[in-house]
A and B are shown apart, each in its own frame.
Chain A
């Protein structure tokens, strides 16, 4: 069926379906495609339109009341295709150890191992138009193009790869196929404002329009696929059985918000930029784009009790250059390295290093409802992003380890901001919103069970990074899609 505009529905009109998917970002679109193959009647409700609009984007505004963070309407896109209208396309599965290691002594991690997701990860890779071998070893890929790897102790720091999708825009790439499916109806400009509760289940959802009209959609099952910040919002604004939000009987909705803390060190001073080319320049092998990265070995992480992390090397931007010029000690380091290596062009010695690290789930880091409202009268969100001392420890150790290893190998000197135990550089996020309805078999410690069904609600599921119980350091979309495909299998089985 074609893509429709919900603004054309009559006020008060009611729609019905077997499964109602709320949100058509990559998760909602892929779930719709999978269910379309079974003939189950599906309705997809997407708040945005085919083009970006200020009116729609404004619904995403909110407040930051914790760590410094991106404006909440700039860190996601409310448009058909969701944030893949703007994403960078970096893709990588979580590591095996991310699934196996509990994040803290008193908090469980993933209730299943990565092997359970492997086939889904492969399919997710195909959807993102990257290689589906899940081969992450730097050696494997470098040898295929005859590139050199930098030599470090593999028990400490390893060379691996990060894949890069074209980047696939899920609305453009898969929207037409979804629109053609007989059993699927897609409505754009269909902003869901409430989930209606009735005896242990969600009976319907209400959509609203800027002109005040509303409609109701009734279904046997509902799937929230509105992104990691909006999922808790929709649950919290829907009163549910206890009046404090659906699935929120244990005050868990919105908690455990995780990002991937990013730290960009101004530079790595090296005497031979060429040896880093596998890491700084994209390699294309049979249509797969990838770059080399440095990762911390699992042995090192458990020995030091730190989270997961990677270092991505980039040729220094002008910004990096200016930054380094403003740092008198950095100038001295460049002179040292230059003098010892007889370098003649000091401008060619710099790399930026971007550390992307794991944040441990912590209940104080959360999404709450703000006192401000959007044009539909819905409370906006306030994001209280909180880092735990372990997160700073992870960042420091990651920088220190990579810095020491690079120096040990005679490759360069890294500015590792660890002095005084403080980090002088700003920690950024990565536009990755995870953990706000975390997966836990224990309803007092999370919001969804292993089948991604909301605890205490018979027919409500979540397809989003909001269910990640831990987030490793890897960009989330591949894992979101793998989980979505797994959920599709579950829904297909349970629907018939």
Chain B
């Protein structure tokens, strides 16, 4: 996984994420990745895709959004969720398993650094709450 990963991999990722052929044709990854915000969109999509078909994240997400007390921008969430050492593009290029690993490492780091929060008794990492919020926002 690196910045120089061939474009074909990015296409595969997008296919893996379930984007339609039309979308791929209309939004070539080169174009998507040309702007920071689009890469953020893809990153958000990649994160959310891990939780496709899994219920109940809304409840946690809403808790986060309520406690944030103001508008939460998905882009900010993505930036905060991504490990600081990993560039946005590298993240977008990563395989699903790698994305999971990167996020899990981020979560583990939260626990070690006591970036944790208790939501009605559930001890969760802040990253986990942000993931839930991101999934919730994308579902809205």
Contacts and interface: CB of A to CB of B under 8 A. Distances in A.
A424 interface: yes
B1 interface: no
Interface stretch (A26-34, A335-343, A430-438, A487-495): A335-343
B58 A332 contact: yes
A11 interface: no
Nearest to B61: A332
A417 B112 contact: no
A453 to B, nearest CB: 47
Nearest to A408: B111
A400 B123 contact: yes
A332 B118 contact: no
A147 to B, nearest CB: 24
Interface stretch (B4-12, B13-21, B65-73, B99-107): B99-107
A329 B51 contact: no
Contact of B121 (A336, A341, A407, A416): A416
A413 interface: yes
B118 A408 contact: no
Which of A340, A342, A404, A414 has most chain B Cβ within 10 Å? A340
Interface in A76-120: none
Which of B96, B116, B120 has most chain A Cβ within 10 Å? B120
B57 interface: yes
A417 B123 CA distance: 9
Contacts of B96: 342
Contacts of A407: 111, 116, 123-125
Which of A329, A403, A418 has most chain B Cβ within 10 Å? A329
Given A329-B60, A404-B111, A410-B104, A335 B118 contact: no
Given A339-B50, A407-B125, A332 B60 contact: yes
A408 B108 contact: yes
A353 B63 CA distance: 25
A204 interface: no
B121 A419 contact: yes
Given A328-B59, A336-B60, A410-B108, A415 B51 contact: no
B122 A415 contact: yes
A341 B116 CA distance: 19
Contacts of A342: 50, 96-97, 100
B78 interface: no
Interface in A296-353: 328-336, 338-342, 346
Which of B55, B56, B63, B100 has most chain A Cβ within 10 Å? B56
Contact of B56 (A335, A340, A417): A335
Contacts of B100: 339-342
A413 B60 CA distance: 14
A262 to B, nearest CB: 17
Contacts, number: 97
Nearest to B97: A342
Q: Is the interface of B mostly helix, strand, loop or mixed?
A: helix
Contacts of A265: 121
Interface in A17-47: none
A331 B55 contact: yes
Interface string B79-115: 0000000000000000011001001100110011000
Nearest to A402: B123
Given A336-B131, A340-B100, A407-B116, A418 B111 contact: no
Contacts of A424: 120-121
A348 to B, nearest CB: 15
B107 A340 contact: yes
B60 A415 contact: no
B112 A332 contact: no
Interface in B18-33: none
Contact of B132 (A336, A338, A403, A418): A336
Nearest to B113: A408
A422 B10 CA distance: 49
B132 to A, nearest CB: 6
B120 A419 contact: yes
A418 B60 contact: no
A335 B50 CA distance: 10
Nearest to B112: A408
Contacts of A328: 56, 59
Contacts of B122: 329-330, 333, 413-416
A418 B56 contact: no
Interface string A281-304: 000000000000000000000000
B45 interface: no
A418 to B, nearest CB: 6
A495 B15 CA distance: 88
B120 to A, nearest CB: 5
Contacts of A332: 55-61, 132
B18 to A, nearest CB: 15
A418 B118 contact: yes
A202 to B, nearest CB: 51
A346 B111 CA distance: 23
Contacts of B56: 328-335
B104 A341 contact: yes
A330 B59 CA distance: 9
Contact of A336 (B118, B120, B128): B128
7 contacts: A328-B56, A334-B56, A340-B104, A414-B122, A416-B121, A419-B120, A419-B121
**Nearest 8 A-B pairs (CB), nearest first?**
A331-B56, A335-B54, A332-B56, A417-B121, A339-B51, A332-B60, A408-B111, A403-B123
Interface of B: 50-51, 54-61, 63, 96-97, 100, 103-104, 107-108, 111-112, 116, 118-125, 128, 131-132
Given A329-B119, A332-B58, A332-B59, 13 more contacts: A265-B121, A329-B122, A331-B59, A333-B122, A334-B54, A339-B100, A340-B50, A407-B123, A408-B108, A408-B112, A413-B122, A418-B118, A419-B119
